[in-house]
Amino acid sequence: MAQEQKQPKKSSEEVTQDEVAPETDVAERKEALDDDVDAILDEIDEVLESNAEDFVKSFIQKGGQ
């Protein structure tokens, strides 16, 4: 467990992780995202209204501004 929590060394000048990361990091991040997709969709599946057709049909609003 202890090993899993080990943080990569950070120099004080290192910027917090953001978009300035080089292209390879971007690709890696996208890959990591893909791995999580199933987990995300499973959780969303659980809360989605059960009958999509009925829900869509009954979502009727009056116009506003």
Partner 1 sequence: MGTEVEYGVTVQGQPMANHMVASSQVVNAYASATARARRARWDFEEESPLRDARGFDMSRQVADPTQLTDEDMGLANVILTNGARLYVDHAHPEYSTPEVTSPRDIVLWDKAGEQVMLDASRMAALVPGSQPIHLYKNNTDNKGASYGAHENYLMRRSTPFGDIVRHLTPFFVSRQVVCGAGRVGIGQDGREQGYQITQRADFFEVEVGLETTLKRPIINTRDEPHADPEKYRRLHVIIGDANLAEVSTYLKVGTTALVLAMIEDRFITRDLGVDSPVASLRAVSHDPTLRHQVTMDDGRRLTAVQLQLEFLDLARKYVEDRYGDDADPQTKDVLARWESVLGRLERDPMLCARELDWVAKLSLLEQYRQRDGLDWTNAKLQLIDYQYSDIRPEKGLYHRLVGMGRIERLLDDAEVERAMHEPPHDTRAYFRGRCLEKYADAVAAASWDSVIFDLPGRESLQRVPTIDPLRGSKAHVGELIDRCETAAELFAELTHS
Q: At closest approach, how far in Å is the CB of 64 from partner 1?
A: 3
Told to check if 32 binds partner 1 by CB under 8 A, we report no
Strand, coil or helix: 31: helix
Told to check if 58 binds partner 1 by CB under 8 A, we report yes
Q: At closest approach, how far in Å is the CB of 2 from partner 1?
A: 23
Q: Are 49 and 55 in contact (CB under 8 A)?
A: yes
Within 8 A by CB and 6+ apart from 21, the residues are 29
Q: At closest approach, how far in Å is the CB of 10 from partner 1?
A: 20
